[in-house]
């Protein structure tokens, strides 16, 4: 594996399986009374969050702390960043503080790539703009694997705003690496024009795809899209692409429903679907911590073999 985790495309199949296998072992530790491991004692992990995301930050924080790393939370709000400090200056500050890893969430696609050029530590992408969110894809794959076994040949349907979704990008890449068959379902306005070059199938018809799906992953619809003519109304979106009880009835018995959160209940997913036994939404949160522990351990647990990166 490389020194950084910025894109799901950075992961070979072996890398991805190693992370998932490691997470499997670490999941057992989460079940015992002493959850802490001494592995990253003396290492510093900085959570550098330019966007509010309490869920993701807490997940990374819990992961780092369970590995005994020192955690510094650097939120852009109320810091020098909001006073106009550049990403580069922030990076140099972190460098001076001796960060072994920087977990970055940023509104601009590619910000983690830029950061990786300015710091010596490992950079973990916790979501950049509309680009990628690789640890979300890893925790999703981990969740699927726990419910369904190996992912080779499994049919995963991802529904919603693919155009703006970093979760979708990372999932398509990782699931393709792991041998799953991905189908994207969305109104054409919410798909990149180049989606034909992605390693997945595309459909505009959710009802046609559901019966063949082992996994249905619903993406959050951002409120601001509704005002930008990507689709006529919330109601129409929900009618064509929302997952309600009638649609779930078309899925086969073992198929699962996923959502990266936070959900718009009643919009892309009906409340009763989100709370059904098929739903893995709560597991996904728990699995986030163990998956991120695995990533931090594998990036930081060994010798820093600098120069192996991008």
Q: Please give the positions annotated as active site.
A: 55-56, 83, 105, 133
CA gap 266, 235 in Å, rounded: 10
- Which tokens belong to 37? 């491991």
The residue range among 71-79, 82-90, 137-145, 181-189 that interacts with another protein, by the rule CB under 8 A, is 82-90
Q: Is residue 110 a contact residue for another protein (CB under 8 A)?
A: yes
In the region spanning residues 17 to 76, those forming contacts with another protein, defined by CB under 8 A, are 18, 21-22, 25-26, 28-29, 32, 34, 36-39, 67
Which of residues 224 and 254 has its CB atom nearest to another protein in the complex?
224
Q: Is residue 142 a contact residue for another protein (CB under 8 A)?
A: no
Q: Say what angle helices 134-148 and 166-177 make with each other, to 10 degrees.
A: 50
Helix (H, G, I), strand (E, B) or coil at 278: coil
CB of 180 to another protein, least distance (A): 19
Pick one of 198, 231, 237, 241: the residue that binds another protein (CB under 8 A).
198
Helices (H), the chain: 13-31, 54-66, 87-96, 111-116, 134-148, 166-177, 206-209, 223-226, 234-241, 245-248, 271-274, 281-300
The residue range among 54-62, 181-189, 194-202, 247-255 that interacts with another protein, by the rule CB under 8 A, is 194-202
- If residue 21 lies in a helix (H) or strand (E), which one and from where to where? helix 13-31
In the region spanning residues 254 to 273, those forming contacts with another protein, defined by CB under 8 A, are none
Helix (H, G, I), strand (E, B) or coil at 181: strand
Q: Is residue 299 a contact residue for another protein (CB under 8 A)?
A: yes
Q: Is residue 83 a contact residue for another protein (CB under 8 A)?
A: no
Asked whether 243 and 209 are in contact (CB, 8 A), the reply is no
- In the block, which residue shows the tokens 């594998």? 298
CA gap 279, 16 in Å, rounded: 24
Pick one of 16, 87, 210, 273: the residue that binds another protein (CB under 8 A).
87
Asked whether 223 and 183 are in contact (CB, 8 A), the reply is no
CA gap 114, 137 in Å, rounded: 22
Asked whether 89 and 83 are in contact (CB, 8 A), the reply is no
**Total binding residues for another protein by CB under 8 A?**
53
Q: Is residue 131 a contact residue for another protein (CB under 8 A)?
A: yes
CB of 92 to another protein, least distance (A): 11
Pick one of 139, 174, 255, 300: the residue that binds another protein (CB under 8 A).
300
Question: Omega into 58 within 30° of 0, i.e. cis?
Answer: no
Residues that bind another protein (CB under 8 A): 1, 14-15, 18, 21-22, 25-26, 28-29, 32, 34, 36-39, 67, 86-88, 106-111, 113-114, 116-117, 128-132, 166, 169, 192-195, 197-198, 297-305, 310
């Amino acid at each position: 594996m490389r020194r950084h985790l910025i894109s799901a495309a950075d992961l070979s199949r072996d890398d991805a399986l190693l992370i998932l296998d490691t997470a499997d072992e670490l999941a057992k530790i989460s079940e015992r009374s002493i959850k802490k491991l001494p592995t990253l004692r003396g290492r510093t992990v900085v959570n550098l969050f330019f966007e509010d995301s309490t869920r993701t930050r807490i997940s990374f924080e819990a992961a780092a702390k369970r590995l005994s790393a020192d955690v510094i939370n650097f939120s852009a709000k109320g810091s020098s960043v909001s006073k106009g400090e550049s990403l580069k200056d922030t990076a140099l500050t972190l460098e001076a503080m001796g960060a072994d890893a920087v977990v970055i969430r940023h509104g601009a696609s590619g910000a983690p790539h830029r950061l990786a050029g300015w710091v010596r530590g490992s950079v973990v992408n916790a979501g950049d703009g509309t680009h990628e969110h690789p640890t979300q894809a890893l925790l999703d794959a981990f969740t699927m694997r726990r419910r369904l076994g190996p992912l080779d040949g499994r049919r995963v349907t991802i529904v919603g705003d693919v155009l703006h979704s970093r979760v979708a990008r990372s999932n398509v890449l990782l699931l393709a690496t792991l041998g799953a068959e991905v189908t994207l379902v969305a109104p054409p306005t919410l798909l990149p024009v180049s989606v034909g070059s992605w390693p997945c199938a595309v459909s505009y018809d959710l009802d046609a795809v559901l019966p063949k799906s082992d996994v249905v992953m619903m993406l959050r619809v951002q409120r601001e899209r509704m005002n930008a003519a990507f689709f006529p109304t919330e109601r129409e979106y929900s009618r064509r692409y929302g997952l309600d009880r009638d649609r779930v009835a078309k899925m086969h018995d073992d198929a699962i429903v996923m959502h990266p959160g936070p959900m718009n209940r009643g919009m892309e997913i009906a409340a009763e679907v989100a709370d059904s036994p098929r739903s893995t939404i709560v597991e996904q949160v728990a699995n986030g911590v163990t998956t991120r522990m695995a990533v931090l351990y594998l990036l930081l647990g060994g010798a820093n073999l600098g120069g192996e990166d991008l």
